[in-house]
Structure formats: structure tokens, C-alpha cells
């Protein structure tokens, strides 16, 4: 038993070392520097909670936080609806379902910066060309308006993550007992009733995982925001991650940026853990 314990900790040690050096130590140092006036060059001096107090009067940070919150809610809804819909499609009896699984998952393999540039071309070139040819004004200048820029970000994020979330839903949909569905169909339940009362309750664990992943990814998105809109127009589509990076590396206000990061971390942690706790209570055992 002792040998097994030794081998367990021996194999676990590299992971714990990596977790401590890459995650835990930077987190501790970051919290410490958020209480200082560190600018990345000069020695840090302790100033207490001044950085945190000033955040509440930083309108740019508050605007980016509100935009990030709206974007995350819209993205989570769209991505999970698309992911579940695609999963139900590729678990049906169509012949090309294996090919479709690959096609739907492929956007997730493309880097965020590349995705941003791809969709920037679509929104600025393709949409403008179609808008001028058809006379549809709302297709023109998509990224020059805060409203359409917002939905442009949602479209990009949904296109990238829907295939990934589809894989999670597929794993649970394929384990739904077929005899339950057949019995409900014999009893006269239609497709919607079978989905609402049997399928969806049994895939709730997948919904919990998918909601956690989409929430956390939507909140911390940066590279797609940078390459698609770069926060424009007039910082109206700037998200929190971009605001933190700009504060740290453009304004050289490292301590203030770290305070923003700590607040952001707490907000994301509370929201993510709360939804996991709520959804766990609704899960049904198979």
C-alpha cells in the first residue's frame, strides 16, 4: 500500500509542481502587487486598497465589464442552443453524421486571432459587397457600429465553440436509454415531449459542463476581440481582458491592472461556481 501511495504522489508531483509555479504562485504574487503602486519598472510600495477603490470610478473598466457580461450571456445561450442542436443532428439516423461531426468541430481547431481576421474579412468585405449589391443597409459597416460589432463578436464565438460543445452533448445523448424513448413514443408522446421530459433531463450533466466552459471562455476572451474589433468603435466593444492588457502594457499601470484582474477573477469564479451548484441540483441519474 505504501508503494502504491509513493507511486501515486510520484506521478502527481510534476502536475502539482506545474500547477503551483504556473497558476498558484502568479495568483499570490498578483494579489500582493494589486495592493501596491508597481509600474513594472520601479520598486513597489504598499498603498492598501487604493487601486480597488479607484476601479469604481474607472468608467472604461466598468463599461468593458458591462459589455463582457452582456456578451457572455448572449454567447452562452447561442452556443449551447447550437451545440445541442448540432449534437441531436449528428446523433440522428442521417448517413453523413460522421462527416458532419468533423466539419462542425473544425472551427474550434482554428486559433482565435485567425478566426478574428477571417470574420473581419466577412463582416467588412463580404457583408459590405452584399449590402451594396442588394441595397440592404444594415449589412454595411458592421464593425463600425457598437450594436452590430457586439453581434459580430457573438457570431464569431458561437461559430468557434458550438462544435466543441456539440461533442460534450453527443457523449450524453448517445447514452440516453432508447427503451425509454420508445416507451414514451408508444404512449403517444410527440418529439418535443420526449425531448423535454426524457432527453433533456438526462443530458443535464452535459449542460452543466457546457455552461461552465462557455461562461469561462466567454468572460476571458481576448484574441478574438483584438483581431475582430480591437475594442472599437471608441472602445464600445472592448472586453475586460483587453482593458486589463492595455492598462498593464500601454499605460504601464501594472498594479492597477492586477487589481482589475483580481476583481475579474472573483466575478468569474462566483458566477461559474454558482451555476454549477444550481445545475448540479437539477441533474437526473441515468
- Other CB atoms within 10 A of residue 160 CB: 23
Q: Is residue 266 part of a domain?
A: yes
Is the pLDDT confidence value at 88 over 60? yes
In a domain, 236, yes or no: yes
Q: Is the model more confident about 119 or about 7?
A: 119
Count other C-beta atoms under 10 Å from residue 129's C-beta: 12
Q: What is the CATH number of the domain that holds 220?
A: 1.10.3720.10
Is the pLDDT confidence value at 286 over 80? no
**13 found inside a domain:** no
- Average pLDDT of the chain? 87
pLDDT > 60? residue 118 = yes
The answer, yes or no, to whether residue 248 has pLDDT greater than 60, is: yes
Q: Model-level pTM?
A: 0.86
90 falls within a domain: yes
pLDDT, tens only, 23-81: 899 889 999 999 999 888 888 889 989 999 998 888 999 999 999 999 999 999 999 99
157: in domain:
yes
Q: How many domains is the chain partitioned into structurally?
A: 1
Between CA 273 and CA 284 the distance in angstroms is 19
pLDDT higher than 80, residue 205: yes
Supply the range of the domain harboring residue 207.
56-280
Average pLDDT value for residue range 146-175 = 91
Instruction: Examine residue 172 and state whether it is found in any structural domain, yes or no.
Output: yes
Radius of gyration of the chain (CA): 23
pLDDT at 3: 62
Residue 199 within a domain: yes
Q: What per-residue confidence (pLDDT) applies to 234?
A: 86
Whether the ω angle into residue 245 lies within 30 degrees of 0, i.e. cis, is no
Please check the confidence at residue 158 and state whether its pLDDT lies above 90: yes
**Which regions of 136-239 does DSSP assign to beta strands (E)?**
none
Closest CA to 224 of 150, 168, 167: 150
Determine, yes or no, domain membership for 232. yes
Please tell me the predicted confidence (pLDDT) of residue 72.
Answer: 92
Q: Is the pLDDT of residue 4 over 70?
A: no
Amino acid at each position: 500500500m505504501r508503494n502504491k501511495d509513493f507511486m501515486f504522489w510520484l506521478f502527481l508531483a510534476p502536475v502539482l509542481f506545474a500547477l503551483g509555479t504556473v497558476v498558484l504562485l502568479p495568483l499570490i504574487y498578483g494579489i500582493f502587487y494589486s495592493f501596491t503602486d508597481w509600474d513594472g519598472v520601479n520598486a513597489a510600495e504598499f498603498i492598501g486598497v487604493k487601486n480597488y477603490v479607484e476601479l469604481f470610478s474607472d468608467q472604461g473598466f466598468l463599461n468593458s465589464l458591462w459589455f463582457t457580461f452582456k456578451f457572455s450571456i448572449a454567447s452562452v445561450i447561442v452556443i449551447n442552443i447550437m451545440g445541442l442542436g448540432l449534437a441531436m443532428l449528428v446523433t440522428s439516423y442521417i448517413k453523413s453524421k460522421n462527416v458532419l461531426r468533423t466539419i462542425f468541430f473544425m472551427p474550434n481547431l482554428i486559433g482565435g486571432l485567425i478566426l478574428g481576421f477571417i470574420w473581419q474579412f466577412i463582416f467588412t468585405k463580404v457583408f459590405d459587397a452584399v449590402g451594396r449589391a442588394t441595397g440592404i443597409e444594415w449589412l454595411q459597416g458592421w464593425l463600425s457600429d457598437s450594436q452590430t460589432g457586439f453581434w459580430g463578436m457573438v457570431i464569431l464565438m458561437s461559430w468557434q465553440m458550438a462544435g466543441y460543445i456539440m461533442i460534450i452533448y453527443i457523449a450524453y445523448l448517445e447514452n440516453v436509454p432508447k427503451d425509454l424513448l420508445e416507451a414514451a413514443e408508444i404512449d403517444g408522446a410527440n418529439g418535443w415531449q420526449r425531448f423535454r421530459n426524457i432527453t433533456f433531463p438526462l443530458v443535464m450533466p452535459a449542460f452543466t459542463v457546457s455552461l461552465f466552459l462557455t461562461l469561462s471562455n466567454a468572460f476571458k476572451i481576448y484574441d478574438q476581440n483584438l483581431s475582430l474589433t480591437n475594442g472599437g468603435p471608441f472602445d464600445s466593444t472592448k472586453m475586460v481582458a483587453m482593458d486589463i492588457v492595455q492598462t498593464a502594457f500601454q499605460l504601464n499601470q501594472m498594479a492597477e491592472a492586477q487589481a482589475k484582474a483580481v476583481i475579474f477573477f472573483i466575478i468569474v469564479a462566483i458566477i461559474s461556481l454558482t451555476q454549477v451548484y444550481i445545475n448540479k441540483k437539477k441533474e437526473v441519474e441515468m
